Every structure is written in structure tokens, then in C-alpha cells.
Amino acid sequence: MADAATYTDKGKPFERDMTYIPDRLRAGDEPADPLEGAYGADPDAPSWPVEPGRYRLVAAKACPWANRAIIVRNLLGLEDVISLGMPGPTHDARSWTFDLDPGGVDPVLGIERLQEAYFNRVPDYPRGITVPAIVEVETVKVVTNDFPWITHDFFFEWREHHRADAPDLWPADSREEMEAVMKRVFTEVNNGVYRCGFAGSQEAYDAAYERLFAALDWLEKRLTDRRYLMGEAITEADVRLFTTLARFDAVYHGHFKCNRNKLIEMPALWGYARDLFQTPGFGETIDFEQIKAHYYRVHTDVNPTGIVPQGPDESGWTTPHGRG
């Protein structure tokens, strides 16, 4: 997400703007997801057809919300049907830019700024230019930036294009419990670290801090006697938690003042995070240098000097996790 646009007014708690372009990519012949209506999807949102090669996922490695989409694309084997464009880790108030590509231009979309794809769809688009975003290649128009539903639809709507051994990221027998777990992970952990980092007052920060670590303690306990959040198999819930855990010690502990303890000091969570990091599809999407550059350079209100720390030591991520 374009976090520079989400700072909180002084004295107020942080609130994330969750208004996105609601369009969906739908296969048409897939049965409707029975739980969609309960979890925020707009049933009347415009639909775009599932069509290999038609869309490009634009997702910066630096961003945890975009990182989810990259991981799910990898796990499901969608690399050959949905291309991937990756902006650099830093951006200004206008937009993410493709400064990692030759000439600073995305080689497929032919644009320098993701903002161009938004403006092609909605001239003078008034909200933040966020990642992940699905862009139609031919028109270079953004289709949707509704990040929770992008990964949902990768699973449910693109099944015909999954690889044969793709994991069942949304198991039917535990779906309702998983939705509840993901809701708590989002509100208290994924968003909780931002609630700490962008708190507009001491009171707001203190409350956010207590909420975050209460949730991390709950997760530590939950993961003490199970390998993954829902049991013995990886699900979407694990993807959503992992991207925050991967950034915790490098960014959130210091930059966002989430400093009761580090991830490496929570045995179950640290083992769990290493287990996922070492699973194909996860660890290769993590670039700690890009992550640190994004947070420490873009969030100038939090870190006005722009200095990027050298640590922490990353070697622990590849040590045995003991959770097999």
C-alpha cells in the first residue's frame, strides 16, 4: 500500500482506508463462494473474465499486502498465466515507480508510474495509488486493487490454471474458523503494527501496543501445538500472517515501536516463521533490503532522517526450525 498516504492526525488512533476498486476477476462457471457476502465482497461489483495473459499483477516486494499476492501466485502455479511487475521499494506521494526495470519503465505495461494505470481507468483517481494491483495489459487500466479479494480470487476463480499439486489454501472443512482467524490476524497483527507506528498520541499508541501483543501471545499459544494456523497444512491464513512476521524484527520492532520483544524471542512464532520462509513460494519473495528501504525512507514522519539500519542479522531465517 502507499503507506505515506495513511498517516494519522495528531491525537487520533490510526485508521486504515479500506476503500478500493471493487472489481473482480471471475471464471463465470465457478460456483459462488457462500461466505463472500459475510466478509465484505461487493456482490454487484463489476466482473472481468479469467483469461491467461490478459492481466499483470503489480506488486512491490517491499509491501506486506502486495507480498501476499506474490506468494499466493507462486503457491498456486499462476506464474505463466498472470505476469508480475515489481515496482521499487521507495515512492513519493504520487505513486509507486518501476525504477528497478531498465529505463525505469515496466517492460510489459510501458509505464513509469503505477499511477498511470489508475488514471487510465479513473482520471484523477482521488485515493492512494496502492499495491497490489491487477492491471489489464492491453488497455493498461487498473482492474482492481482490493487486496484481500485478489488472493481469494486467485484461488477460487483461477482453479483451472492451478498447478496439479497446488495447496488447498481455503479448505472447506475449516473455512469459517479460518475466516475468524484471518479477521483477528488482520485487525490485530497485520494492521496492528501500523496502529502502533502511526498512532497520533501516546494514549493511542499504548492501546495499540497492548492489542498487538495480546494477539501475538494468542498466536504463540496457538502455534505451540500445531504446525500451521489451521493445523497440518498451509492455508491463506498462514500467507497473511507470514508477511507481517517477516518484517517484524527488521522494521516493526524499532521503526513502529512494537518493541516488547522481537519475533526471535517468541519460540513458536519464530519457528513457524522460519518454517514458512524455508517453504518454496515464501522465502524467495522476501527482500529485506527492499523492505527496510521502503519503511525507513518513505515514512519520513516516523523516520525524518531517512537513515536505514544495517541490521538485524538475517542468517537465522535459514536455520533449522524443528517443526517438520
What residue segments make up the domains of the chain, in order of their start?
3-161, 172-280
Coil, strand or helix at 47: strand
- Of 20, 55, 118, 194, the catalytic one is 194
Beta bridge partners of 84: 57
Length of the chain, in residues? 324
**CATH architecture assignment, domain 172-280:** Up-down Bundle (1.20)
Q: Is 218 annotated as a binding residue?
A: no
- Give the β-pairing of 133-136 and 141-144: antiparallel
State whether CATH 3.40.50.2300 applies to domain 3-161: no
- Give the β-pairing of 133-136 and 55-58: antiparallel
State phi, psi for 284 to the nearest 5 degrees.
Answer: -70, -10
- Give the β-pairing of 24-26 and 47-49: parallel
Q: Tell me the pTM.
A: 0.94
The sign one gets for the Cα dihedral 113, 119, 120, 122 is: positive
Coil, strand or helix at 249: helix
How does pLDDT run across 268-320, given as a tens digit for each residue?
999 999 999 999 999 999 999 999 999 999 999 999 999 999 999 999 999 99
* Separation CA 71–CA 66 (nearest Å): 9
Q: Are 305 and 296 in contact (CB under 8 A)?
A: no
- Of 20, 55, 63, 258, the catalytic one is 63
194 is catalytic: yes
How does pLDDT run across 92-133, given as a tens digit for each residue?
888 899 999 999 999 999 999 999 999 999 998 999 999 999
How does pLDDT run across 194-253, given as a tens digit for each residue?
999 999 999 999 999 999 999 999 999 999 999 999 999 999 999 999 999 999 999 999
Alpha-carbon distance values, 119 to 66, 143, 298 (Å): 20, 11, 22
CB atoms within 10 A of CB 11: 11
Q: Which of 170, 125, 116, 135 is nearest to 25 (CA)?
A: 135
Question: Would you say the CATH fold of 172-280 matches that of 3-161?
Answer: no
Element (H, E) at 95: none
* Separation CA 253–CA 285 (nearest Å): 21
63 is catalytic: yes
